[in-house]
Structure 1
């Protein structure tokens, strides 16, 4: 069977080698005579998977022992609520930088919990760039500063991260493991798995231990970071198969040469598409300003809605999947996460050139 040329924004492409490995052991994992999906989450065989995933992520991102690695459910969207519920304590303010729809949603949930502020926003510019921040505007009673590191809908990405005296929190759902980062810059990093880490249903939280505290009595047990920290993310049944696939993806990243190699490959893939856009004499127009361009989500428009429909129709006929822009902005979007092969991106670049010539 021929694999699709998968440019979906999420759930997104998984490494073919990971899928093959999972398939090989689907009915009999580790000689147990059971699938990972059938193992008790309290069993030794599953424990090796669970702890192994945490250890492998710690190794790949050089995460120090000052941080907990939590494996949660509810997607990144649940973190929009958990973060303020746990960290936005009385008398504190949650500061937010708006760079797209997901940061707007994060702010919306925080407002339900306590005081918030918009430190900076690029909304007036249709979220075409990452706004500059005046750190001196941060008030002394700030609980945290929240950013969305990569914006899937608009195709923008933070190139450097702000530094301040209050904890920096980042939603890295769509660019975690895509490049090297200094985890010590952050108080908390969270990421839905379905773009660069594994399948949907799992959320990874990397959190400074000193931010984990005894929750207020009114906070539900399942919404407290302390619950997961005290129980190795095994307070209740975790998404065991998703965590197994996370472990396989992390092993794959290591086998490819680690995050440094993945980063260079992602830069190569993004350059293939941005070069076509920049040399197209405005036939293709990138949404993001050049200094804010994402290496994960390349967003662009064509001269007309009719051309866009024709482009997407012919692309589908050629086997390309998931190139429609988000319904809120239209146009086209190529999501080129870690698992998307360079060859698939090169084929898309050639298709884009061909389509322009025939038009």
Structure 2
């Protein structure tokens, strides 16, 4: 379903499915005859409990989350989890971090407050480094499986063979593709990319990793406490959970290329990314600098050969209904985030604009 709305390529908070936005608007004043907006409900009332339970059930089904994992609805975003994870899992010991870009670098810096952090490998923001130096006695290994800023993605999660749990920050690709849970100890991600509005953070944690939080860990961030209270230890981000639940319903019903659900979303994401990268690669006017083997399907950074044209590019793109294409301030250039809710027509419109801009300014 598309409309005359502009195409929003923001990296997050990001575009949401239009049918979901319309349903939120229709239910704003009165959710299912309750006489209340979801924003007015008690998080312990039967109405909201039914919303939260349905959201977790649909999420588990979409991602095929095994029974041995607890799903937690938390707050603090990915940046908050950079502290919450080591407070829960490090036991004050050793943590290995593979740095592939800006976010994993931030994760390493934050974890140093609570653990002995080793940079097990470090890339240049354009590739996944090889020759990891992993310690057998580390509490866990941390990777960012999709670097939102740099556009580097693990299309296959690493298979650790030394018995140390793998922690993945999957904020930018969560719900865009399946996850091999057999390789994961804990996964986390902010909802504001593929799932819903800012404020909700999703954590998937193996049950055997619960119960080891440092004494300094706040109760509201202790995974065991949150799990025991079914994410209701304190007031959760109720409205964000409600919208995420609607997105999960939309995702379950989504159809594309003869597929349905997560498989359909993944296929469309593959097609969107392929279309955009092909246009960039065919041009001598634009450049994507990420290694072909690890280009992100979700976040596509690119640069104009003549960066003096950057502001003109952004102004003309906005006039054409293509929003939020400016790259992150730390790397510059442009970035198109093409999450689940971005239709194929949006990427086609961007590709058409890229070609037209090059023809006029190249």
TM bucket (normalised to shorter chain) is over 0.9
* Paired residue secondary structure (1:142): coil
| 2:93 aligned with 1:79 | no
Look up the match of 2:202.
Answer: 204
How many residue pairs were aligned?
Answer: 352
Q: Give the TM-score of the pair, scaled to structure 2.
A: 0.95
* Paired residue secondary structure (1:8): coil
* Paired residue secondary structure (2:336): strand
Any idea what the Cα deviations from partners look like across 1:288-344, whole Å, max 9, x if unmatched?
A: 121111100111111122222221111111111000011111111100000001001
* Paired residue secondary structure (1:333): strand
Look up the match of 2:275.
Answer: 272
Look up the match of 2:97.
Answer: 96
Cα 1:330–1:235 shift into 2, 3 Å:
same
Q: By how many angstroms is 1:216 displaced?
A: 4.2
Look up the match of 1:263.
Answer: 266
| 2:165 aligned with 1:167 | yes
The CA distance in 2 between the partners of 1:314 and 1:94, in whole Å, is 46
Look up the match of 2:135.
Answer: 139
Q: By how many angstroms is 1:154 displaced?
A: 1.1
Q: By how many angstroms is 1:214 displaced?
A: 4.9
| 2:103 aligned with 1:105 | no
Q: By how many angstroms is 1:197 displaced?
A: 1.0
Look up the match of 2:224.
Answer: 226
| 2:252 aligned with 1:254 | yes
Answer yes or no: is the 8 Å Cα contact 1:154–1:287 preserved in 2: no
Any idea what the Cα deviations from partners look like across 1:256-289, whole Å, max 9, x if unmatched?
A: 0211110000011111111111111x21110212
The CA distance in 2 between the partners of 1:76 and 1:68, in whole Å, is 18
Look up the match of 1:244.
Answer: 242
Any idea what the Cα deviations from partners look like across 1:68-98, whole Å, max 9, x if unmatched?
A: 00000111111101111111114x3100011
The CA distance in 1 between the partners of 2:245 and 2:235, in whole Å, is 17
Equivalent position to 2:18, from 11, 16, 19: 16
Greater mean deviation of Cα atoms: 70-79 or 220-229: 220-229
Any idea what the Cα deviations from partners look like across 1:187-242, whole Å, max 9, x if unmatched?
A: 00000000011100000000000000153444321221111011000011111100
Cα 1:71–1:133 shift into 2, 3 Å:
farther
Answer yes or no: is the 8 Å Cα contact 2:87–2:214 preserved in 1: no
Unaligned runs of 5+ in 1: none
Look up the match of 1:347.
Answer: 349
The CA distance in 2 between the partners of 1:345 and 1:220, in whole Å, is 43
Any idea what the Cα deviations from partners look like across 1:154-201, whole Å, max 9, x if unmatched?
A: 111112111112100000110011112212210000000000111000
| Runs of 4+ residues deviating >6 angstroms | none
| 2:131 aligned with 1:156 | no
The CA distance in 2 between the partners of 1:174 and 1:353, in whole Å, is 27
The CA distance in 1 between the partners of 2:149 and 2:234, in whole Å, is 33
Look up the match of 2:257.
Answer: none
Q: By how many angstroms is 1:133 displaced?
A: 4.1
Look up the match of 1:37.
Answer: 39
Answer yes or no: is the 8 Å Cα contact 1:30–1:45 preserved in 2: no
